[in-house]
Homo-oligomer: A and B are copies of this chain.
């Protein structure tokens, strides 16, 4: 007998397929689309976003949810089914909070703003991005207010809830304050220790050799090219589905490791996507557990595993072979572990990285509250960089134009990078305890991530969204909720022991 729950499952599956289609149009836009296609692509994406929104926000969905509740869907014996119903209710609540015309306007504004950013960033000219960005910020503020009203949250907390279920400003501020203090004490100590290393010695390699090395790296870590791709794009990203998880990278001939690390980072995201529970494909509970957990996977790959001594030696060999050069593990290690404040978040070492996130966390709260006008962003940005990193950005490309996120409408997203870094440290420690440190590092010495990925698949990827919050997932996987303890211990062990 078909139940209201079954009808809901079919409805959510259809919306998911439409969302997957949008994902591929986004991929195409960033990787292959010629520039002339931009405005039509915005219209195509807006139509798909509206259709998906209407499927979930429809009164039919609301009626079915009420009926399924009466039929006992919340107390289903199968915990996955009960969790799926909980996520359906959550999605409905979050989706109905935003009017359909605002959804369409946001989709268009995101595309136009992102397109303007793609011109403004290389030109280092914030003014080129400002008109579309101003319109986008206005619409995101409307979105945040509508969402906050429905969820009983402040506008910015409502945006956080979109990316990391259960996360609030009030959780983050004390942790970020603690981290800022810890890093304020620790970074000078690390810099002092690394004095003998001299300048961070970048590893040079031709772009073709880097691409070849990246293919080898992906094969050794277990990336399946039958179910994924590696392409170039302006800003590295990953997107896809459990059967087709793609990543992109960019290459710098003067610094091969930036590209390699971006590949590992995005491959961590892709591994999560690939490992989602297939039994729940296309259902809300089959989705990932939010962006903080997603980032814990990319950072487990890139920071925790990727910068071990074992992987440094492996990367040295890989790049030596591809470039026909003689690169030592020590040179790679020193390049990867060199702590040195810089302008660019994605190039930052793991010790200064949280400082980049903290300034964005503060600035985006000000943009959403209206305290900071979009036109005033470059000045406010540069001032914060001076305060927190003691550096003065030379131009907007090295300042507020460096990241795509805001220009693509993602506010409340940046904190998940540092929350994810803390979760990565916590999960990697638990994985190492379970696998055994010798076995884990023995595999990494061969560039083999299979043991790590298998543990993550059992404890993170395959759990989908069965837990109501990322803290519940971490509690189950590591025995403790999110804290900065493992991250701080990791920084001390790697840099000061």
Which of A27-35, A117-125, A337-345, A371-379 faces chain B?
A27-35
Closest residue to A17 on the B side, CB-wise?
B47
Q: Looking at chain A, what size class is its interface with the partner chain?
A: 35 or more
Main secondary structure of the interface of A (DSSP, over half): helix
Contact A226 B25 (CB under 8 A): no
A19-63 contacts to B, CB under 8 A, are 20-22, 24-25, 27-28, 32-37, 39-41, 43-44, 46-48, 50-51
A21 adjacent to B48 (CB under 8 Å): yes
Q: How far is the CA of A14 from the CA of B48 in the complex (A)?
A: 9
Q: Which of B24, B46, B226, B241 contacts A35 (CB 8 A)?
A: B226
Q: Which B residues are in CB contact (< 8 Å) with A46?
A: 17
Q: Are B25 and A228 in contact (CB under 8 A)?
A: no
CB closest residue in chain B, given A19: B44
CB of A17, distance to nearest CB on chain B (Å)? 4
Is A32 a contact partner of B32 (Cβ separation < 8 A)? yes
A240 to B, closest residue via Cβ: B37
A12 to chain B minimum Cβ distance, whole angstroms, is 12
- Known: A34-B227, A36-B227. Is A18-B244 also a contact (CB below 8 A)? no
Residues in B neighbouring A21, C-beta threshold 8 A: 21-22, 25, 44, 47-48
Question: Considering the chains assembled together, what is the distance between the CA atoms of A229 and B31 in angstroms?
Answer: 12
Q: List 6 A-B contacts (CB under 8 A).
A: A27-B28, A28-B28, A33-B244, A34-B229, A37-B243, A39-B243
Q: A21-B25, A34-B246 are in contact. List 15 more A-B contacts (CB 8 A).
A: A14-B47, A14-B51, A17-B44, A18-B48, A21-B48, A24-B44, A28-B28, A32-B32, A32-B229, A34-B225, A36-B226, A36-B244, A37-B244, A40-B241, A51-B51
Q: Which residues of A contact B (CB under 8 A)?
A: 14, 17-18, 20-22, 24-25, 27-28, 32-37, 39-41, 43-44, 46-48, 50-51, 224-229, 231, 241-244, 246
